[in-house]
Amino acid sequence: MADVKKIATRESYGNALVELGKEHDNLIVFDADLAGATKTGTFKKAFPERHYNCGIAEGNMMAVAAGAASMGLVPFASSFAMFAAGRAFEQVRNSIGYPHLNVKIGATHGGISVGEDGASHQCCEDFALMRSIPGMVVMSPADDVEAKAMVKAAYEHEGPVYMRFGRAAVPVFHEEDYQFQIGKGEIVKDGSDVAIIANGLMVYEAIAAAEELAKSGINAMVINMATIKPLDEELVLEAAGKCGKIITCEEHSIIGGLGEAVAAVLSEKLPTPVKRIGVNDEFGHSGPAAALLKQFGLCAEHIVEVAQKFCGK
């Protein structure tokens, strides 16, 4: 797996905006003085007249984006997840969510893999915050191909969308012809003993874990659930019915994210044992991204341990 191409999904975000910008004159981009880090600087270079730096004023940026959307434009408002979902939550809720405006939020640097920037920037609460806003679509892509397809799907969707992209380079495992659809999960690997439902960088870790689990006789299904809201409930129920055990994996708090969304569906429609892998109600801290992910159990090795105990192996 060492020779697999790796690309940070924030890079994919910037590249996708440029490609869409060539096709759609109504697409504009707002940034909160982070064009280099969020990679919207790529769009700025191609379309300087359609890129607006709102400064370190994320709440104001969301309100300006709302105004642009009300005029028929399709704004992509970009910042770090901590600021886009956290600092600007009130404006996202009241100015974008409540009037259901066509604003797309591109949030980069989400999760523990922000690394050395530390707890203040390692946003592990954004899925929970954005899921709580009525009508908000919430998504997190697994690799470069899916991220670019997701940005295109977000443009085509009528209504507010929140997308989380990562700082760290992650393996690309999708083929270029991969078809992404909002609200639909993807079976990456079929299986019958336990279903591992993951999103973001945890999908590739789940794939690696499934390969290792096969050595101990555990046939694991792997599902890429890039859309957290609306959740693909049919696929969740299908996986639960076939495997009887579910493990969720996300670079987010176990509170309010993918794990809780899956558990809520199953508790109401098909009670199934669930194990949630994520950040366990604690803040992160500064350190190399790879080391932090292992420390917090966001890695293939930990998924294997949980699955083996879960399956009695």
> What are the E-state strand segments in the chain?
6-8, 27-31, 51-53, 74-80, 104-108, 137-139, 161-164, 169-171, 186-189, 194-198, 220-224, 227-229, 246-253, 274-279
3-state secondary structure at position 299: coil
Report the alpha-carbon distance of residue 181 to residue 200 in Å, rounded. 16
Given a contact cutoff of 8 angstroms between Cβ atoms, the answer to whether 43 and 14 are in contact is: yes
Instruction: Tokens for 117, please give them.
Output: 């920037």
Rg (CA), the chain: 19
| Catalytic positions, written as ranges | 58
